[in-house]
Structure 1
Amino acid sequence: MENEMTAGAAAVPKKNKEVTTAFKWFHATSVNGGAMLIAAVIASFFSVYMTDTLKIPAAACSMIMFVATLWDAINDPMMGVIADRTHTKWGRYRPYFIAAPILLTLFSTLLWIDWGFSTTGKIIYILVVYVGYGMTVTMYTMPQVAILPACVKNNQQRNMIITMGAGVCACAFTIGNTFTPQITGFFQGIGLSNGYVPLMLICGVFAFISFWGLFGTSKERYLQPVEKGTAFRDMKLVLKHKELFPNIIAWIMASMGYGMMFSTSVYYMKYYYMRPDLISAYMGVISIGALVSMVVLMPIVLKICKTGQKALIVSQVASIICYVILFFFGKSSFTFLCVVTFISSCFSAMQNALVNVLVNDSIDYIQYKEGLSANGVISSIKGFAQKCGNTVVSSGILAVLSASGYIAEAIGGQPESTMFALNFLKFGAPSLTGIILIICVFFNPVEKYSAEIEEMKSKME
């Protein structure tokens, strides 16, 4: 246990110098850099690739995404428990950063390879590879989230690193959403039949740099020993605190709201707006709005609101107003659609970063209540909640389209039921999830114990 508590540790500097600049950037660019660029490409283009390129029926695609993302959600708590109970000379969470980029590059590349299988063969192949990709994401996401409070105890430092990661995430999404057609087209223009494969390999290189850099610069200082016992003892200790349930629901709603708006964008422009030639331009508007949100607007909102909880509420209120306007008037003109979408993205994109503040709050709360460092468990609960939201989004969109009578490649020929479904999925559903999220944030328990938690952390030198 002594190795775990002191691995890589040096004398703790002043609290505003707890970690190096290199750690901050490697933490910010690990999950949010090359890995997020891969995730952005998959989120934006993989469903369309399955239905329109591989010619897999929408109902079968929905089944693939449901099974894969549901298992992805289930194995999150398992990974959190495993991470908290990992004992190596490098610490609890750091070892997972070594294997992360290797598996990530492998599975993300295999996703885009068409081996010429039959439809049934394609369904089985995509399911297996997508499950492998999801498990890899779980393997590195839980330790990456858990290691931040293990290395940094100062809330301002934590929020700054989260903000840096949000900015990197926005840049990755801007590139992935806006320029993927051009990048893949370039590779096809030089003789490669599938431009997604080299794109995944390039993203993998960036993932290697950031994850291995995070391994080399992280030092796990602020951890309590994990007592022996059953693997799910810590899970029970955490979940018995019903005060944290609103946070769990908020994580689900944040994942569903932005994911629903984002993942339907290609379908929306191609079939509802009937302008596939404007997909790149529209995705660019969303991505640039997200970039402005993370890099410019989020730090301002945090400064004005003082806390992540209040900033999260502000972002949701503004997003809902924009979504309602677009639901009724989005088709009036492309310029109007882009302007209001840009404003909505400026506020909605920051929610996925701001909910991470609730993770650190929950970790501090459990450490105060139970004297337990359950960083991995709580990170995994957040991951489980997020993946539940992802499951609803990824499989739900395809299921709704299938039920509404969606016809692949039928631009201008979709039934009215499909047209309504696309508009509702794009703007109506995110409005509803935003309202639920706002209600949940009001019940966050940490503010009540903020003084006691700060006193606890001051004794953790």
Structure 2
Amino acid sequence: MKAHASRDLGKNMVPWKERFSYSLSDFACNLSFQMVGTYLMIFYTDTFGISAAAVGTLFFVARIIDAIDGPFWGIMIDHTHTRWGKSRPYWLWFAIPFAIFCVLVFTTPNLGITGKIIWAYITYIGVDVLYSAVNIPITSILPSLTTSSQERVTLSTIRQFMGTAGATIITGITLTMVAFFGNGSTTSSRGWFIWALIVAIIVVFLFWIVFKNTKERVQTKSSKQSLPIKESLRALKRNWPWAIVIFINFVYWMGMQTRSQVTVYFFKYNMHNAGLASFILSLQAVALIAVVLTPLTSRAIGKRNTMLLGMILAIVGQLLLNVGAHNMSVSIIVIATIIGYLGTGYVSGLIAVMLADAVDYGEWISGVRAEGIVTSFSSFSAKLGMGIGGVITGWILSTTGYVANQAQSATALRGIETNYIWVPIIGFALSAISLLFYRVDGLEDKMQSDLSIKHAKENEQD
């Protein structure tokens, strides 16, 4: 029995070159989209000259408009059948269009306020839609790389390690690079444009490497043909693990978005040290510790409990942030941030693994394997959460009296603090509660055994 398990594990192992190439997908996405998610709001208010209320509305409306793009790209993936596979081609086809919009969104044409808002809507919605085109395949391809649950955890861990590295690099050096190219000013439109252009070129190169070096090796009857929409949707019926993960993805990213997009505000206005924001954001590097420990921890206590541990650490970190903010203590804030990033390091890498498990679960109960539609709702839920997080941020800043590049009132400072500390706690707490109802880990052995038999029969018939 052990020899058989060993042969099966070896067959499902992904070569290291492919593991690393796959991980570059998230590195590329985080280089670009973390720059957008972390800095676009302060770019709009303090450089482009759009009010916080208008930006909050923009984020919400844009998310609603492009909310359908996640399922759309998922359906497109399920309908794609090329010599490169179902998911891989999207990195080849959409890397350049996505990179172009990553530059346009940080471009400041000389327009009136109405023209600026229209430009922001067009470019922001564009970058959102095209982000889905290159990001959804990262998750949808995972079930096709291997059938081994532990290998999926390994792949997702390496991917998350590189994704966190990308996020840490871009959030840590962006203000420095903008100032470098903008003659010392972090609000320089020239600095933002040049830096965005450099990042975009790097992103295109990375996506092409991912396309070249990955392989869709898990071939089933469903994966070898284009699935009708009605057939794809059957994979969602009674797929409760999928529903739980999608909800978690929604509330988790709602909280993460409010925190990330007011980080610079918090240190610029509440702590009176804007430069400290870059250091705090660079502490994301500690999340790599949790990422590296994720395979070991998930083997010991299960995937659900590992993610639950991460959510609890994230909540503890936010509560300590409140103590640090009230005492104006940089040391407490640093400790709180480290604890919080350790928690989110456990969380983010496992979401993709649990979605891959949901693909298997959907096939197990419905007979339909629909990687695209099942995983695409990850983008939908994350974007919706980030959109609502954006409108919450804009609304709180506006109603508490925030004025760009001015000393803030006590009410405005409390508004920034609410966004930075309390809204994320709500997201993390709701996620933790939802995880108590996730029970796939105990079904995994039976599920994979049944699917292996099913796939073998399908391949014999072909």
Distance in 2 separating the partners of 1:299 and 1:20: 17
Distance in 2 separating the partners of 1:356 and 1:111: 27
Distance in 1 separating the partners of 2:55 and 2:298: 39
Provide the residue aligned with 2:287 in structure 1.
290
Contact 1:98 1:215 in 2 (8 A): yes
Provide the residue aligned with 1:167 in structure 2.
161
CA 281–210 in structure 1, closer or farther in 2 if over 3 Å, else same:
closer
Provide the residue aligned with 2:361 in structure 1.
365
Amino acid in structure 1 at the alignment position of 2:244: P
How far the C-alpha of 1:259 sits from its partner, in A, is 2.5
How far the C-alpha of 1:273 sits from its partner, in A, is 2.1
Distance in 2 separating the partners of 1:167 and 1:131: 28
376-385 or 440-449, which moves further after superposition? Answer: 440-449
Provide the residue aligned with 2:276 in structure 1.
278
CA 376–414 in structure 1, closer or farther in 2 if over 3 Å, else same:
same
How far the C-alpha of 1:444 sits from its partner, in A, is 1.7
CA 229–187 in structure 1, closer or farther in 2 if over 3 Å, else same:
closer
Match of 1:316 among 288, 298, 311: 311
Distance in 2 separating the partners of 1:220 and 1:277: 44
Structure 1: segments with no counterpart, 5+ residues? 1-11
Amino acid in structure 2 at the alignment position of 1:385: S
What whole-Å deviation, never above 9, does each CA across 1:387-411 have from its counterpart, x for those lacking one?
A: 1111111222112211222111123
How far the C-alpha of 1:96 sits from its partner, in A, is 0.9
Contact 1:257 1:434 in 2 (8 A): yes
Distance in 2 separating the partners of 1:35 and 1:196: 18
SS of match in other structure, 1:194? helix
Q: Does 1:176 align with 2:157?
A: no
Provide the residue aligned with 1:7 in structure 2.
none
Contact 1:359 1:379 in 2 (8 A): yes
TM-score (norm 1): 0.89
What whole-Å deviation, never above 9, does each CA across 1:127-173 have from its counterpart, x for those lacking one?
A: 10111111111111222211111121111111111001111111111
Contact 1:258 1:348 in 2 (8 A): no
Distance in 2 separating the partners of 1:316 and 1:71: 30
265-274 or 232-241, which moves further after superposition? Answer: 232-241
Amino acid in structure 1 at the alignment position of 2:372: G
Distance in 1 separating the partners of 2:276 and 2:413: 18
What whole-Å deviation, never above 9, does each CA across 1:383-438 have from its counterpart, x for those lacking one?
A: 21111111111222112211222111123x3242x222222221212222222111
Distance in 2 separating the partners of 1:228 and 1:140: 20
Provide the residue aligned with 1:8 in structure 2.
none
The aligned runs of 1:128-167 (5 Å cut-off) are 128-167=122-161
- Alignment RMSD: 2.4
Match of 1:255 among 253, 256, 260: 253
How far the C-alpha of 1:453 sits from its partner, in A, is 1.2
SS of match in other structure, 1:350? helix
SS of match in other structure, 1:408? coil
Contact 1:146 1:375 in 2 (8 A): yes
158-167 or 181-190, which moves further after superposition? Answer: 181-190
How far the C-alpha of 1:87 sits from its partner, in A, is 2.1
Provide the residue aligned with 1:48 in structure 2.
42
Amino acid in structure 2 at the alignment position of 1:101: A
How far the C-alpha of 1:61 sits from its partner, in A, is 0.9
Provide the residue aligned with 2:460 in structure 1.
none
Provide the residue aligned with 1:29 in structure 2.
24
Distance in 1 separating the partners of 2:419 and 2:189: 33
Distance in 1 separating the partners of 2:95 and 2:235: 33
Matched-pair identity in %: 23
CA 232–50 in structure 1, closer or farther in 2 if over 3 Å, else same:
farther
Provide the residue aligned with 1:264 in structure 2.
262
171-180 or 63-72, which moves further after superposition? Answer: 63-72
Provide the residue aligned with 1:430 in structure 2.
424
Contact 2:245 2:354 in 1 (8 A): yes
Count of residues in correspondence between the two structures: 444
Provide the residue aligned with 2:342 in structure 1.
346
Q: Does 1:109 align with 2:109?
A: no
Q: Does 1:198 align with 2:194?
A: yes
Contact 1:100 1:139 in 2 (8 A): yes
How far the C-alpha of 1:17 sits from its partner, in A, is 5.5
What whole-Å deviation, never above 9, does each CA across 1:259-281 have from its counterpart, x for those lacking one?
A: 33222211111222232242222
Provide the residue aligned with 1:75 in structure 2.
69
Provide the residue aligned with 1:207 in structure 2.
203
Structure 2: segments with no counterpart, 5+ residues? 1-6, 457-462
Match of 1:398 among 377, 394, 398: 394
Distance in 1 separating the partners of 2:246 and 2:403: 36
The aligned runs of 1:381-460 (5 Å cut-off) are 381-411=377-407, 413-416=408-411, 418-459=412-453, 460=455
